[in-house]
Each structure stands twice: as C-alpha cells, then as structure tokens.
Structure 1
C-alpha cells in the first residue's frame, strides 16, 4: 500500500528551479532513504510534503490526501523531525515533549519515559540550556512516543553522538516492525544503508536513481585485491577495471559489477594465489554520481 506519492514535483523560486520533476513513492512499513548533498533539494521536497510550501507544478499525496489542501488532516498522522530543532527557551525539555505529544494527540506516557531513559535525556532543564544534540533528542522522543503512521525525518541525527545514533536506528527499525513508514533524509550514507529498504538519490533538484539497495548495487564497483603466480598483462585495458594500485606483490582495483565474471575469468588464467573482495557500498554509488557530475561540469567549464 502506498503511503506517500509525489509525481513530477517542481518548485521554482523566481528563475531558479529548486525541484525539477521529482517522483517519489513510500510504501507502508517501508524505510525510504532520501539522499543528496546540501542544496540538492531534499529540504524543499520535505517542506512541500509537509504543506509548508506549495509546489509550482506536480502533486504530492500522503494517505491519499493532497499535501497542500489537506495538510491539517495529514499532520494528525505524521511525526516530523527537522535537522535543526528550535524550542521554547523558557520551557523544560519535558514540557516541550508533552506539548508536542498533545499536538499529535498522543497519550503514551510510558513510551515517553522509556525513550527519555534510552536517549539518556534530562527533561528537567530549560530548553535554552540544551546543546544541539539534546534539542534533537526532544524532537526524536516526541516523535517516537507518538502513534504516527509516517515519520518524516530530515537529517534527524544531526548533533547526536555515535551511541545516540545507534539508539535512533533501533527506534526506526522498531517503527518499521510495527508497520509504520519512514522517510529518512540523510547525508550519512552508512545510516541509510543500515536502515533503508529503498533509496532515492537527488542531485540539483532531480531524482537520478531510485530503487532497492540490491537494485542500485549493480551500478557500483566492487573492490578487489589479488595476487597471481604470473604478472597480468594489459589489466588496465580490460573493460570495467578502474583505479589499479600495486602494493608489494598484490594488486588492488575496482571492477564494475556487470563485468565481474569476465574479469575473474581473465585473471584466473594467471594463477590466483590470493583474492579478496569487498562488497559494493551505497557510498560508492553516491560518489560515482557526484564525481561524474563534477567531472562533466569541469570539462564543460574548461571548454568555455
């Protein structure tokens, strides 16, 4: 069942196009990773989904309702955590959590206490005394204590230490097991890889790749380290091989996944003594897209 669907979302600010035909779909019980660098259009997309901005073109629906005209109804069933949480300075952290919970119609105070303990949070201090990490904890505790059906998390672990990031990841997976849906915007690729069922990559306002991690990994390169009985001639000329480095008697290089079979067959002719393989990571895919874009840009600029 589709919980969130954006179709051809476009947002222009004057002559500047912030979003250019963005398509996105988040299903029930799914964690969807929305990744891209700062300025790529992640936050603009999320503001449209929250009904804070109106799209110039296209449409977006959550629970089958229009995100702009039905925003009030939609917000009763979602929990939102921004990347930079601003709080009322004279209220305590606990009072702010209670206020957020009342706004969401949540009364699960047992879950509230459990999360306060898990996040090692002191709810008695005034909000003006909190660090950035503790302000994030306020929003995360309020969100996960709610009975939301969709969590929209925009760089939610900003300011958290590694232990608290781990607690956050546990909370996301618990929400998923409960059948909830999560839209996670992040630039922390290891976090996305651990949590997400599907991933969408946005660059300069356009979605450039969408799919499950397994579907996207065919576009990544696997790292190989090999030793052979005999030297391998013309390795750098073989299709699909990149970034060859020699380290003592071993060779390290990257192989396009679709060429892996042909490469292994070729190097086996020279007597394999050692073969180590590191599986492709989401970061490899991400960097390939952005490095490729920068390379193309520099080539164009250099020809002007």
Structure 2
C-alpha cells in the first residue's frame, strides 16, 4: 500500500523547472532512497510533500491526503529532519526534544532516554553551544522518539561522525521493523545502499531511474581481477570491457553487467587461474548517470 505518492509533480520558478514531472511512490514499511546531486530537486520535492511549497502542476498525496490542502492532518503522522537543523538558542537540547514530543503527543520517555544515550547527547546544554552534529542529534532523537508513520529525512546525517551514522542507520531499520515508512534523501551512497528497499535517482528535476538496488545494478560495472595461464590479448576490444589495467601476474578491469557472460567465456580460453570480483556499488551506478556532465562534480551535498 502506497503511503506517499506523487504524480507528474512539477514546480516552476518563472521559466525554470525545479521539478519536471516527478513520480514517487513509497509503500508501507519501505525505506525509499532519494538520491541526486546538488540542485537536482530533492529538497524541493520534500518541501512540496511537507506543504511548504505549492506544486505548479501534478499531485502529491501522503496517507491518501493532499500534501498542500491537508498538510496539518498529515503532519500529525510524520516526522521530518532537515539537513541543517536550527534550534532555539536559549533552550537546552532536552527541552527542545520535550517540546517536539509534546507537540506530537508522544509520551515515550523511556525511548527518549535510550536515544539520548545512543546518540551520546548532553541534553542539559543550551542549543547555542551545540555543534552542527549535535543539532542534528537533537532533531533525530525528537523524530525517532515520536510515533510517526512516515519519516521524511533530508540529508539527516549531515555533520554526524561515522559512529553516529551507524546509530542513525539502526534507528531507521528499527522503524522499518515496526512497519514505518521512510523517505531518505541522501548523497551518502553507502548509507542508501545499506538501508533502502527502493531507490529513485533524480537529475535536473526529473526522475531518471527508479527501482530496487538489484534492478538498478544492470546499469553498473563489476570490477574483476583475473590471472590466466596465457596472458590475455585483445581484452580491451571485447564488448562491455572498460578500464583495463595490467597488474603483476594478472589484469584488472570493469565489465558492464549485461556483457558478463561473453567476457567470462572469452577469458576462459586463456585458462583462468584466479578470479576476484567486486560487486558494483551505488556509487558506480550514480557516476555512470552523470558521467561526462558537470553534475558529476557536485556530489558533496544535496538540495
């Protein structure tokens, strides 16, 4: 069952289309990874979903309700964490968490304390003293301590160290285990790869590919290292082979997944002694979409 659905979602600023016919679908109990480079339209999409921006064309529904017309009702059942959290400077972290929980009617004090411990946050400090990472922790604790049905997370681990990223990932998986849904906008590809059931890649306001990681891996290249009895000749001429590099005793190269069978058959004629394979990553998939474009240099953050 679809918890979140957009159809032909379009947002124009004059002649510029920030979103150009975006179709998204997040199902119950699913973690959906929403990825794309800086300026691709991720945060604009999320602002439309939150009822902050009104779409120029198209539809956006959450829990079957219109994201613009029924935003107040929708917000009772969602938790949102932006990539750059601003907090009340004179309140303590604990007071802000309590305020957010009270607004949502959440009463899970035990869970609150457990999350504060897991995220290693000092809740007694004033928010003005917090680093960016600690401000993110406050927002994440408040979100996961609430009993939301849908978590909308826009670059939520920005500013967190790797240990805290792991804690965040555990929280997301726990939410999924409890039947919750998550829309995760991220440029940390390893994070998306570990967590997400479905992935949507957005570029210049358009969804250019969507599916499970398994379905999208047809777009990627597998890295192989081979040693053969007889040195392989003409490998770089074989269809689907890329980036051939001779190494001591063998050769390293990349293979387009759809040509793997032909490449293995070709190599076997030279007497394969050793073969090592590294599965393609989301990074490979992502870079192939942006190969040769200016966008490939803007993976450092996302709007």
TM-score above 0.5, yes or no: yes
Give 1:227's aligned residue. Answer: 227
CA distance in 2, matches of 1:172, 1:161: 17
Residues 19 and 153 of structure 1: is their aligned pair in 2 closer, same or farther, counting only changes over 3 Å?
A: same
SS at match of 1:288: helix
CA distance in 2, matches of 1:271, 1:283: 32
CA distance in 1, matches of 2:295, 2:189: 22
Give 2:284's aligned residue. Answer: 284
Give 2:121's aligned residue. Answer: 121
Q: Structure 1 length normalisation: TM-score?
A: 0.96
SS at match of 1:88: coil
CA distance in 2, matches of 1:105, 1:291: 47
Contact 2:2 / 2:26 at 8 angstroms: preserved in 1?
A: yes
Give 2:40's aligned residue. Answer: 40
Give 2:300's aligned residue. Answer: none
Offset at residue 100 of structure 1 (A): 0.7
Q: How many residues align?
A: 296
Q: Structure 2 length normalisation: TM-score?
A: 0.96
Query: Which structure 1 residue ranges, 5 or more long, are not aligned?
Result: 297-304
Q: Taking CA–CA contacts closer than 8 Å with sequence separation of 6 or more, which of the two structures ends up with the larger relative contact order?
A: 2
Offset at residue 293 of structure 1 (A): 3.9
CA distance in 1, matches of 2:262, 2:29: 39
Give 2:90's aligned residue. Answer: 90
Alignment of 1:15-30 (within 5 A): 15-30=15-30
SS at match of 2:115: helix
Residues 123 and 149 of structure 1: is their aligned pair in 2 closer, same or farther, counting only changes over 3 Å?
A: same
The two structures, once aligned, show a CA RMSD in angstroms of: 1.2
Give 1:9's aligned residue. Answer: 9
Contact 2:226 / 2:252 at 8 angstroms: preserved in 1?
A: yes
- 2:207 pairs with 1:246: no
Query: Which structure 2 residue ranges, 5 or more long, are not aligned?
Result: 297-303
Offset at residue 256 of structure 1 (A): 0.6
Residues 295 and 16 of structure 1: is their aligned pair in 2 closer, same or farther, counting only changes over 3 Å?
A: closer
Q: For residues 27-83 of structure 1, what are the alpha-carbon distances to aligned partners after superposition, in whole Å with 9 as ceiling and x for unaligned?
A: 000000000111110000000000000001101000000000000000000000000
Give 1:300's aligned residue. Answer: none
Alignment of 1:292-303 (within 5 A): 292-294=292-294
Offset at residue 294 of structure 1 (A): 4.5
